[in-house]
Structure 1
Amino acid sequence: MLKRRMLAASSAASLLLCGPVCAQAPAAAPPPAPAPAIAPAASPPSSAGGTAIALPTIEITAPKRLQPLHHPHIRVATRRRQPPTAPPPQTPEKRVAGANERFDEARRAMVAPAGANSYQLTQQALEALPQGTNTPLDKALLQVPGVSQDAAASGQLHVRNEHANLQYRINGIMLPDGVGAFGQIIDTGIVGSLALITGALPAQYGLRTAGVLDIQTKTDAFNNSGSVGVYGGSHGTIATSAEYGGTVGQTQYYVSGRYFGSSVGLENPTPAYNAIHDNTSQEKGFLYLSTVLDPTSRLTLISGIANGAYEIPNNPGQTPVYTPFGITSFDSALLNERQRELNQFNVLAYQKSAGD
């Protein structure tokens, strides 16, 4: 009995000693962290000696601070204005070419085919022919509507069923009238473009009522360059050509030459593959000079030459029309008739522009 009371008094004394200390005001707690995660508190052991039950984890999230509205920054791209690029300075060759082009335009306007029909063949069209620029000029003209060819022995063309009566012009300058023959005086290789003008021709074209063949030389003929070509085929056909053009000072020049040879110069009168006595050799030359004297005047020289040698083809078994000296059995296959053609032309033209 005495032992229990002493234990009780000890317990009371412990409570009294703890009382003043526990009665003190608690110190101020520090502010909580922004978002701490509180670990689960351990439960005190049960007085009955049972197992402690863990409390659930409580997560405390700090309130998010309101962010200001974000407005995207718009960038305006500006480009500094560059001064206009100055054109490259013209070379002397281009200045001379521009001056000659103005003279050519003025000449074309002066002889414009008002009220007439014009059919044009460009350089690309001529190069697309089977023989290209090796095609004789009369054969190239057969591509134009209304043009037909006479027999090869005459070397003439029919324009709208008219015989001959065709005028030739080079860069607007009329060539002198020539005598029709087997060969062609003008080489197709110098042609940049050609136009056949037919119909009601103005008075400046003269009496050539069949048509006017207006030839323009190559536009790239004066760029200080040239070319050499070789062409060949059956019947011993061989053709060589050379051309060169350029600009010196105020003068443009262009020169060309061609040789042609074949064992079928005219036409074969027999059905045999090889003709009898029908060889030909032809040479052609062409020269064009144009000098700008001043901004309003120009001097032009056009010169050409064409030499052709032809054998007249034989047709065996023909009966002689004449029997001189009583000879009636002459073999027509042994005839030796030939024809040689020499053609030359020179034209000097002065062009002057007055006023506007």
Structure 2
Amino acid sequence: MGRSGVLVRWWYGSLFSVCLIGNVPFSWADDVETIRVTASRLDRAREALQPSIGATQTHFSRQAIEANPGGDNAGLNSVLLQAPGVTQDSYGQLHIRGDHNNIQFRLDGVALPEGVSVFGQALMTRFAHDMSLTTGVLPAQYGFRQAGVIDLKTKNGFDDQGATLSLYGGARDYLQPSVQYGGHRGKWDGFFTVDAVHNRVGIENTTSKFTALHDLSNQYHILGHLRYTLRPETRFSLTAGVSNAWYQLPNNPGQQRQFATPFFKEQGISPQAANVDSSALDEHQQELTDFAILSWQENHTRFSAQTSAIIRYSSLRYSPDLVGDLVYNGIAQRASRSVFSSGVQNDSKWKIGWGHILRAGFQAYGERNTTKTDSLVYPVTDGLIGDVPMRVHDGSGKTGVLYGAYVQDEWSLLPHLTLNTGLRFDGVREYVNAHQLSPRITLVWEPWRGGRFHAGYARYFTPPPFETLGNTSLGKFADTSAAPENFQNDKVKAERDHYFDAGFMQEIKPGWHVGFDAYLKRARNMIDEGQFGAPVILTAYNYRRGKVHGYELTTDYTSGPLTLYGSMAWSRAMGKDITSAQWNFDSDDLAYMRHNWVHLDHDQRWTASAGGNYSFFYKTNHPLQLSASMVYGSGLRKDRSLPSGSDIPNGASVPNYVTFNLSLVQTLKGISWLGNGRTQFRVDVINLFDKRYMLRDGSGIGVGAPQYGLRRTIMGGISYTL
């Protein structure tokens, strides 16, 4: 039998052993410390498969996550906003270095295929033991989504053992109970967590008032992580999660009716909607995500690898207010979209000699995208709009593949000089067929102790986001109130970039670091996304040309119980000439952008964040931690009105803002009347000074409605760990 046959038999034999192992005694099952050391060594080996050589990486430790207001109860976006170059947007969206949602999420180094969720975050902060954000010139193992790579190291049965019960809540009916458990037995270890969320702040308020109209949200999230160490060199792991979220869409009062009250022919009467008010609409959206990752890891003296099988299903369903949507929009559309993805990822490392580490791997995914809409629209005859709605059914499905492979060499030219070169090949066969061979090269120089310079170049290939593409049959809406201004609908194309990055990091004194980074991107067929129409479903489109550049300044300081950090970023992101999905845009806007550069809707000139925490009595069993954070934004884009009555798309920005958050956490350990566990009380104040600020004003390319930041919110919680 050939070598490949032996490997196949070993692979299936190992899986069979994992399935049957049960309560079989092991020769080293009782040596907990040996297993713990082995698990830690395998974790380090897995992380070494995907280094950040020459890239810019921000690491969030478990302590940093817990110090963030809300701790594990806060969303991932609130943690990531403390990283340089990260801009907040409505619906919980993040923009990194001038890109729109071009973000890759990984769990323990394994990339998750993208989903269709807009509001909900399928990955919760409490899943992560720690996490990192990597930007800049990425090594060749990172493909497809390259503005930023967010990698969560999931909690496990060794580092996060014990059972924790938590209850968190506060203003606006906010209630979030959760439970988590981590433990190990023999060669097994695992972690499990589940939480539920109920509140009236599911989506950003459309007004500056304290409480939004019609903003109830109910959600639950589940994550399980199970690992089996077959031997010191071999480990299997299974990670699976579920996220289910239901939202009311906030109403925007005071809107002007655009159409007459509909007369439903099948009932023969006009419903009691003649006085329908935009503050009383009833629109809903549900978002569901399921995923699972099965991984096999090998670690030997000179060779290590991890191979993973991945599946993910996500769906989004929008339910309109039938009468209200017709009156204000001329279309009431029940819409659903889903994506099912399955694939495989492999990353390998081979130490081929002194100063040389060769890495290689591949990714391949099969995806199925389905879109269905059921619309009520008014018929239009000879320019006259009728009042009896007609139904338009539309739907499409598409199966596609996404694939990539890479090889790269980490070469230590000198003891303090490292060159990392790589070559990556990516392809997509979905709504478009495209491929590209992309070189990557970075140079890292450490000329003196504590100093580190880096410079690099990357060629990037970004396929169209499959989950935001649909094949709307525009002809079905001809001669209706939902007919587009133009019927041009060219396919969204893959983006191709030249990306440059350079910067340095210097340790001023032990515990104090200062860094600076500059980047430049030149794009062809630059991809952007926007919301067009009432359903809050993002739609992708291309600018023929794009240019993005910016600068980042960071600092952090740690000394004993004190931690301080801060960052400031300047960015400019612009595009020219819309070349796909044109039917979503006004003809005047298309004509203007054909000959003029415009700011991207998420372009924010200045972004800054800062914070710190201090732990009182940190050497005792009752530490008291005080934390504070700040976020500043100079404002996202909006249209600029001209005296002629026309607009310059994204020609102005909303007002700047700054918000402060405060957190106080008291921990009690070993207090007899509380049992032998750890009890933790926390109080969080979001937007401490109750700043009224706007994220969107409702104008701009692909912006559906105004959105305002959260007003002052006081939260509290208690958790008990056995």
TM-score by length of 2: 0.35
Change (3 A) 1:240 1:280: same
Equivalent residue number for residue 296 of structure 2: 350
Contact 2:193–2:224 (8 Å) recurs in 1? yes
* Residue 145 of structure 1, aligned match among 76, 84, 109: 84
Change (3 A) 1:351 1:333: same
Residue identity (%): 37
Q: Pairwise mapping of residues 54-69 of structure 1 onto structure 2 (< 5 A)?
A: none
1:284-339, CA deviations, whole angstroms, 9 ceiling, x for partnerless residues? 00000111122222111110110001000112221233335377742112211000
Q: Which runs of 5+ in 2 are unaligned?
A: 1-27, 264-272, 303-722
1:215-257, CA deviations, whole angstroms, 9 ceiling, x for partnerless residues? 1234675565110011111111111111001112211110001
Equivalent residue number for residue 147 of structure 2: 210
Tell me, yes or no, if structure 1 residue 93 matches structure 2 residue 32. Answer: yes
Paired with 2:132 and 2:262, the residues of 1 have a C-alpha distance of 55
Q: Pairwise mapping of residues 270-349 of structure 1 onto structure 2 (< 5 A)?
A: 270-323=207-260, 325=262, 329-349=275-295
Q: Pairwise mapping of residues 1-356 of structure 1 onto structure 2 (< 5 A)?
A: 92-152=31-91, 155-218=92-155, 224-323=161-260, 325=262, 329-354=275-300, 356=302
Partner SS, residue 64 of structure 2: helix
Paired with 1:165 and 1:224, the residues of 2 have a C-alpha distance of 34
What displacement does 1:192 show? Answer: 1.8
Contact 2:90–2:204 (8 Å) recurs in 1? no
CA RMSD of aligned residues (A): 2.1
Change (3 A) 1:321 1:219: same
1:38-62, CA deviations, whole angstroms, 9 ceiling, x for partnerless residues? xxxxxxxxxxxxxxxxxxxxxxxxx
Paired with 1:345 and 1:231, the residues of 2 have a C-alpha distance of 26
* Aligned-partner residue type, residue 352 of structure 1: E
Change (3 A) 1:224 1:214: closer
Partner SS, residue 100 of structure 1: helix
Change (3 A) 1:124 1:354: closer
Range with bigger deviation, 323-332 or 156-165: 323-332
Contact 1:223–1:247 (8 Å) recurs in 2? no
Range with bigger deviation, 242-251 or 265-274: 265-274
Paired with 1:118 and 1:223, the residues of 2 have a C-alpha distance of 24
What displacement does 1:96 show? Answer: 2.0
Structure richer in strand, relative to its length: 2
Paired with 1:98 and 1:177, the residues of 2 have a C-alpha distance of 34
1:27-82, CA deviations, whole angstroms, 9 ceiling, x for partnerless residues? xxxxxxxxxxxxxxxxxxxxxxxxxxxxxxxxxxxxxxxxxxxxxxxxxxxxxxxx
Paired with 2:149 and 2:155, the residues of 1 have a C-alpha distance of 19
Change (3 A) 1:223 1:198: closer
Contact 1:193–1:217 (8 Å) recurs in 2? yes
Contact 2:156–2:182 (8 Å) recurs in 1? no
Paired with 2:79 and 2:143, the residues of 1 have a C-alpha distance of 25
Paired with 2:50 and 2:153, the residues of 1 have a C-alpha distance of 14
1:107-146, CA deviations, whole angstroms, 9 ceiling, x for partnerless residues? 1111111111111111111211222221111111101111
Paired with 1:246 and 1:92, the residues of 2 have a C-alpha distance of 15
Contact 1:257–1:284 (8 Å) recurs in 2? yes
TM-score by length of 1: 0.70
Contact 1:251–1:290 (8 Å) recurs in 2? yes
Change (3 A) 1:191 1:221: farther
Range with bigger deviation, 321-330 or 167-176: 321-330
Contact 1:165–1:210 (8 Å) recurs in 2? yes
Contact 2:155–2:191 (8 Å) recurs in 1? no
* Aligned-partner residue type, residue 62 of structure 2: Q
Change (3 A) 1:227 1:221: farther
What displacement does 1:278 show? Answer: 0.4
Paired with 2:232 and 2:157, the residues of 1 have a C-alpha distance of 22
What displacement does 1:262 show? Answer: 0.6
Paired with 1:265 and 1:306, the residues of 2 have a C-alpha distance of 15
Paired with 2:207 and 2:161, the residues of 1 have a C-alpha distance of 48
Contact 2:59–2:132 (8 Å) recurs in 1? yes
Partner SS, residue 200 of structure 1: coil
Paired with 1:92 and 1:282, the residues of 2 have a C-alpha distance of 41
Partner SS, residue 141 of structure 2: helix
Partner SS, residue 133 of structure 1: helix
Range with bigger deviation, 271-280 or 251-260: 271-280
Paired with 2:204 and 2:237, the residues of 1 have a C-alpha distance of 38
Contact 1:222–1:253 (8 Å) recurs in 2? no
Structure richer in helix, relative to its length: 1
1:256-289, CA deviations, whole angstroms, 9 ceiling, x for partnerless residues? 0111111121122234333211000110000001
* Aligned-partner residue type, residue 84 of structure 2: P
Paired with 2:184 and 2:159, the residues of 1 have a C-alpha distance of 6
* Aligned-partner residue type, residue 120 of structure 1: H
Q: How many residues align?
A: 266
